[in-house]
Amino acid sequence: MNKYPLWKYVLLAVVLLAGFLFALPNLFGDFKAVQVTPRDGQLDPSVRFTVVEALKEAGLSDVELREDDNRLLALFTRDDDQLKARDAIDNALESRQNIIAMNLVSAAPAWLRSFAKPMYLGLDLRGGVHFLMQVDMEATIKSAEERYVSDWRRDLREQRIRGVSVGHRNDRISARFRSAEQRDEMYEVFRRDAFDLDFDTREEGEFFYIDAKLTELAADEEKRAALQQNITTLRNRVNELGVAEPIVVQQGLEQIVIQLPGVQDPARAREILGATATLEYRLVEGTAADWYAAGNSGTAPAGSRLYTQRLDGAPILLSQDIIVTGDQIKDASSGIDQQSGTPAVFVNLDGKGARRMQAVTAENVGNLMAVVYIENLIDYKEVDGERVKVTERVEEVINSATIRDVLSHRFQTTGLGADEAANLALLLRAGALKAPVEIVEERTVGPSLGADNIRQGFLSAVAGLVLVLIFMAWYYRVFGLIAGAALVVNLILIVAVLSTLQATLTMPGIAGIVLTTGMAVDANVLIFERIREEIRAGSTVQKAIDAGYEKAFSTIADANITTLIAAIVLFSLGTGPIKGFAVTLSIGILTSMFTAILGTRALVNLVYGNKRGAKLAI
């Protein structure tokens, strides 16, 4: 009666073996690695030779090198060796061609790594940096509305209407006309393709105005798009930093949470994530005499903008029309200009930007084109005893040169320092932020604190497991030992599933595992108590075992399903720590039902299945 068919035992054996193998990589720990990733995706054999020579010069010999997924990894056990190797490799290899980053990689043997990976550890266990970033939604709406300003100016030129002032004033786009006839004529032209704007007309004194602002629906869509694009851009920047298992998620309607486990340089991470540097390419207007005249008066002629040149601080006039901007740059790298020997940023434009650059440069061969470097600098000042944030937008011309030939997809920009060129290339590769962001909260978790959390979490799990095993063995004897064996298998399966899913384990996740340790024996307690009742009622050993498992199943299923539903709701509606708790709790519920019902039944069948007159040790 209490015998499993062979296939069930085979199934349980396969599950147990698979669980053990997929959980095994977590026992080997991690190597501290310096990772070299080629930007073109192909690892050149010469890179390995260069890295070996650089490590020898740095006094690091007999370093283990590993090639994995077109990456070259130099492995170390000490933090000092990792930092020394990073500097040596960074100096030996060109950043234009390779991304060099510090990382942690599994120390498991190659045969095990081929199919199994360890689970990720979160910020609170590995150490690292937590940022909370606020997205400036007002700037998002302003930027979206300002895009229509150049369209209105182009429409006015096409209609040959002059003397009209167009700009973004008082949170709206405004065009000022001298006659009602001109205003009414352009009102229909402006509305023709501007479906996202609400228009209005007004009169003030002798002037006639057309005002427009984004519709409520369009404004909400711009905010949503800005948040999502910023998340994507920040993820790209994090990838450029080479951080393992980063977390970049939305929080609320205007905030982004970034967690960087294992980061050893928080200042560098803060600089890259919060930076908003980008480029604009514009045509130069007028002559040097015009530039100095505008600089002395402080005003620029119509159709021009006054800038300052970084090299000598001299004024320069540029066209109001932008040729291409940073968001049209699809790739960028830093290097050295072969002619001048100065740092340069090599730029690749997307299709739209390349067509625009080609068209403009074809018409302006022999004229000057300037590169504008734009950066938002955030500072804090004391105003009336309060700390107030001050944002300064810096726009300066870093380079101006004669257009010698028609430009298209690829060209280079000079005029920056070496570090500035490298940072700008990184930001352009990762993409421009659609809206300004500000770091409003920063927390750093040291690696020693992470190690303490791991140790405390491990001890709590082991202590809970041992106490449950002792109680079950004392109270249910042989059946208690069987339940204890199932509990150990359950923990192995939880770790195996987390590793297979590449889930991130955090302290709340460990709390979920510890809770599961206590809950996992609930099903066995119900089953064992039911078996005791059947024996007291006079049932035979075999009937008591069968009745205990069959009659307790519905109660066990109901209790675990309701808990699983609560865990799913926690995962759906909760934030990071709550999600981590919900994941381990959900996995623990499923694995505990498997081990407590099928696993213990298999062991009970093996021990008592063929003993009709046996006395149960329960």
Q: Which range among 37-46, 49-58, 344-353, 461-470 shows the weakest confidence by mean pLDDT?
A: 37-46
Residue 272 has a pLDDT of 65
Residue 138 has pLDDT above 80, yes or no: yes
Q: Higher pLDDT residue, 614 or 402?
A: 402
pLDDT band at 17 (very low <50, low <70, confident <90, very high): very high
pLDDT in tens, 226-244: 888 788 778 877 766 656 5
Whole-angstrom distance, CA of residue 326 vs CA of residue 310: 19
Fold of 141-215: Alpha-Beta Plaits (3.30.70)
Averaging pLDDT over each range in 97-111, 404-418, 479-493, which range is the top one? 479-493
Helical spans, DSSP H, in 178-256: 180-191, 216-241
Mean pLDDT of 257-264: 76
Mean pLDDT of 45-50: 86
Residue 1 has a pLDDT of 60
Give the start-to-end residue ranges of the domains of the chain.
6-24+451-608, 30-107, 141-215, 219-444
Q: Which of 282, 214, 269 is nearest to 241 (CA)?
A: 269
Residue 23 has a pLDDT of 92
Mean pLDDT of 302-308: 87
Q: Do 327 and 432 meet the contact criterion of CB atoms below 8 Å apart?
A: yes
Q: Which CATH class is domain 30-107?
A: alpha beta
Would the CATH topology of 30-107 be identical to that of 219-444?
A: no
Residue 276 has a pLDDT of 61
Fold of 219-444: Gyrase A; domain 2 (3.30.1360)
Q: In what order do the strands lie in the sheet with 255-261?
A: 247-251, 255-261, 128-135, 437-445
Helical spans, DSSP H, in 98-204: 110-113, 123-126, 137-158, 180-191
pLDDT band at 317 (very low <50, low <70, confident <90, very high): very high
If you average pLDDT over every residue of the chain, what do you get? 81
Mean pLDDT of 476-503: 89
Whole-angstrom distance, CA of residue 541 vs CA of residue 524: 17
Mean pLDDT of 475-501: 89
Mean pLDDT of 249-261: 84
Residues 228/503/245/35 CA torsion (nearest 10 deg): -140
Sequence length of the chain is: 618
Q: Name the CATH architecture for the domain at 6-24+451-608.
A: Up-down Bundle (1.20)
Per DSSP, the three-state class of 391 is strand
Whole-angstrom distance, CA of residue 279 vs CA of residue 424: 9
Residue 164 has a pLDDT of 85
Q: Which two tokens stand for residue 235?
A: 């993820």
Helix axes 541-573, 522-536, angle to 10 degrees: 160
Q: Which two tokens stand for residue 272?
A: 């890259």
Whole-model pTM: value is 0.61
Helix axes 418-430, 216-241, angle to 10 degrees: 130
Residue 271 has a pLDDT of 64
Mean pLDDT of 152-177: 84
Its sign, for the CA torsion 302, 304, 307, 312, is negative
Residue 496 has a pLDDT of 93
Residue 67: other Cβ atoms inside 10 A: 12
R_g over Cα of the chain: 33
